[in-house]
């Protein structure tokens, strides 16, 4: 007698192999049989007509704070994610001296747009060292598994204190390397660093942004001593230039997997191809350098509730910005106020911000059914020209729809051709891996934790402006492939001996709804969430955590420790 038998589903096992109709037996949280299961189960689950998939493994999230207070780890868990990796981009909360809590929160707030008030109220700081942080994560029940990386900024703040942004001495670099080694030995999944000028807080660039390469090499050597771990980076450099050189040297010296953020950019629309070629060349040399790519454009969501939108710096709008949403909408609909706003120029002194908010050919309506591949003729610029209106008029009317809760979609990257062909090319490259959902982050401007669902709704089922991708392949990309990059050998595929992390999905009914702004964080902090219909059941280690999109109350999730102390 098996604990559970899932019967008659269309099994997509995460390996990339063809789907087949069959059964899955589960015992003690482990898949024990796949195919035709003769024995019965204490619980029998009818999966007829449903896709049976491994739980999604999302390797680029920022739940470092939220995972200490929210057992649901939403919205990722709503979208069938059963394992997350956090601590990306060099920011996080351990190690942390008692007098550095504010500093680390301010870094996270500035870089990842997570409300500082929520983090102040939500986190209990029952840790100082990174191993103690892992223990705190391990002690809290939750619906999914979490793995944590040690962030460069926190390490620098711990060792250098008020000098966190300055150069370190050789002794201090050695201390940082020791701390990273200690974290890896305790089960950290890796180390992360940010080397982009886009990541800033009230204190300036993130500590480590301009750290010398020698510092990165010393930390990389800690991976060689620990014998495991992923070195994650976001960098403004070229993957075939200085960036490529230091990453290759880290991978060569340590044996570690190095992964970094890759997107198609306005500055170099074809640069991603050189990066993919460089990753393939590194693989030929025996190095594992893995570009981390999205499955849809990382897109800002402009609305009257967002952190940024085209009117947010206009003097006329700023007089209304403190009003409740309904009152703001009423004011903006008044002809006198509308005329004053449209006659007003933005007051921002940042050319980057101004450009982002007025790149009219790359701003679109998102819609009730979100469209992440809008055609150029539906941009603000195209509609304004067609209708003989100013782009500002079009934007204002769109933002006032749905009582002021409507969103505009402004892709930040990987949409230079106004289609997803470049993203498809990146996704299908054998040396790339899916990432960049940023679950838990950018709470007031970006909502991409639903990216795994987009793989099914857009790439498998609905795409009309280019080639689709097979169900078997997209499932492999977000399960077997992501698990493999981080060395999660016990999950990611539906095979005997693997953890029973499973989604039952009604592909026909799967519906991704428009994002919403909610205020359910500690201290009534705001965040963007996105609901979905069609996940009929999610299991984590054989325990059902969601039924028809509703949490069951079960919390089987645990901390994933890698290395000597992995469980």
- Specify whether the CB–CB gap between 224 and 249 falls below 8 A: no
- Specify whether the CB–CB gap between 297 and 421 falls below 8 A: no
188-231 tens-digit pLDDT: 999 999 998 888 888 889 999 999 999 999 999 999 999 999 99
Query: Residue 293: which of 475, 60, 64, 83 has the closest Cα?
Result: 60
Fold of 56-298+415-484: TIM Barrel (3.20.20)
Residue 26 phi, psi (nearest 5) = -125, 135
pLDDT exceeds cutoff 80 at 432? yes
Residue 463: both structure tokens together: 């795409």
494-528 tens-digit pLDDT: 999 999 999 999 999 999 999 999 999 999 999 99
What letters, b where the CB count within 10 A reaches 16 and e where it falls short, cover 241-272?
A: eebbebbbbbbbebbbbbbbbbbbeeeeeebb
pLDDT on residue 237: 79
280 alpha-carbon distance from chain centroid: 24
32-91 tens-digit pLDDT: 999 999 999 999 999 999 999 999 999 999 999 999 999 999 999 999 999 999 999 999
CATH 3.40.50.1220 fits 2-54+511-550, yes or no: no
Distance CA 483, CA 466 (A): 28
C-alpha count within 13 angstroms, C-beta hemisphere, residue 334: 12
**Quick one: pLDDT band at residue 565, thresholds 50, 70, 90?**
very low
Element (H, E) at 271: helix 271-284
Distance CA 493, CA 346 (A): 51
pLDDT exceeds cutoff 80 at 352? no
- Specify whether the CB–CB gap between 443 and 487 falls below 8 A: no
Give one DSSP letter per residue of 369-395, joined into a string: TT-SS--GGGBHHHHHHHHT--HHHHH
What string of H, E and C letters represents the secondary structure of 17-59? CCCEEEEEEEECCEEEEEECCCCCEEEEEECCCCEEEECEEEC
DSSP code, position 144: S
pLDDT on residue 567: 40
Domain layout of the chain by residue ranges: 2-54+511-550, 56-298+415-484, 300-411
Indicate the angle between helix axes 213-226 and 242-254, nearest 10 degrees: 30
pLDDT on residue 349: 57
pTM for this prediction: 0.96
Q: Rounded mean pLDDT of 448-452?
A: 98
pLDDT exceeds cutoff 70 at 148? yes
- Specify whether the CB–CB gap between 410 and 356 falls below 8 A: yes
**Quick one: pLDDT band at residue 355, thresholds 50, 70, 90?**
confident
**Quick one: pLDDT band at residue 491, thresholds 50, 70, 90?**
very high
């Amino acid at each position: 007698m098996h604990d559970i038998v899932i019967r008659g589903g269309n099994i997509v096992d995460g390996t990339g192999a063809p789907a087949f109709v069959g059964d899955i037996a589960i015992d003690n949280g482990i898949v024990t049989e796949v195919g035709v299961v003769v024995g019965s189960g204490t619980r029998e689950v009818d999966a007829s007509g449903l896709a049976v998939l491994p739980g999604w493994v999302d390797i680029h999230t920022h739940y470092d704070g939220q995972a200490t207070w929210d057992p649901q780890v939403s919205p990722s868990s709503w979208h069938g994610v059963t394992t997350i990796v956090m601590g990306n981009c060099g920011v996080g909360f351990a190690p942390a001296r008692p007098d550095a809590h504010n500093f680390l929160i301010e870094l996270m707030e500035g870089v990842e747009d997570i409300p500082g008030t929520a983090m102040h109220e939500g986190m209990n700081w029952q840790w100082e060292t990174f191993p103690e942080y892992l223990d705190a994560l391990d002690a809290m029940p939750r619906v999914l598994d979490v793995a944590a990386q040690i962030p460069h900024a926190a390490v620098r703040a711990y060792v250098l204190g008020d000098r966190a942004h300055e150069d370190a001495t050789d002794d201090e670099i050695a201390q940082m390397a020791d701390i990273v080694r200690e974290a890896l030995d305790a089960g950290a999944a890796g180390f992360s660093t940010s080397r982009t000028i886009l990541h800033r807080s009230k204190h300036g660039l993130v500590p480590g942004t301009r750290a010398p390469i020698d510092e990165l090499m010393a930390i990389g050597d800690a991976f060689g001593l620990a014998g495991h771990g992923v070195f994650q980076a976001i960098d403004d450099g070229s993957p075939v230039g200085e960036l490529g050189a230091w990453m290759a040297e880290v991978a060569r010296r340590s044996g570690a997997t190095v992964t970094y953020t890759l997107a198609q950019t306005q500055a170099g629309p074809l640069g991603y191809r050189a990066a993919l070629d460089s990753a393939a060349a590194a693989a030929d040399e025996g190095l594992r350098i893995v570009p981390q790519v999205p499955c849809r454009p990382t897109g800002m969501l402009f609305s009257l509730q967002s952190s940024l939108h085209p009117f947010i710096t206009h003097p006329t709008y700023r007089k209304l910005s403190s009003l409740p949403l309904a009152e703001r909408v009423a004011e903006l609909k008044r002809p006198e106020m509308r005329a004053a706003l449209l006659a007003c120029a933005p007051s921002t002194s940042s050319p980057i911000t101004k450009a982002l908010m007025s790149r009219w050919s790359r701003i679109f309506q998102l819609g009730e059914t979100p469209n992440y591949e809008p055609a150029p003729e539906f941009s603000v610029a195209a509609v304004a020209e067609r209708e003989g209106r100013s782009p500002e008029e079009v934007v204002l009317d769109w933002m006032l729809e749905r009582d002021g809760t409507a969103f505009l979609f402004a892709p930040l990257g990987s949409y230079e051709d106004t289609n997803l062909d470049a993203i498809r090319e990146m996704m299908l490259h054998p040396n790339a891996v899916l990432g960049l959902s940023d679950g838990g982050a950018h709470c007031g401007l970006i909502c991409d934790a639903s990216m795994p669902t987009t793989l099914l709704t857009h790439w498998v089922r609905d795409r009309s402006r280019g080639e689709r991708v097979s169900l078997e392949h997209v499932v492999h990309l977000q399960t077997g492939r992501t698990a493999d990059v981080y060395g999660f050998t016990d999950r990611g595929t539906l095979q005997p001996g693997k953890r029973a992390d499973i989604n039952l999905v009604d592909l026909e009914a799967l519906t991704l709804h428009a994002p919403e702004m909610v205020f359910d964080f500690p201290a009534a902090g705001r965040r963007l969430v996105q609901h979905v219909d069609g996940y009929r059941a999610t299991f984590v280690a054989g325990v059902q955590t969601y039924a028809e999109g509703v949490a069951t109350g079960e919390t089987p999730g645990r901390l994933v420790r890698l290395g000597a102390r992995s469980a």
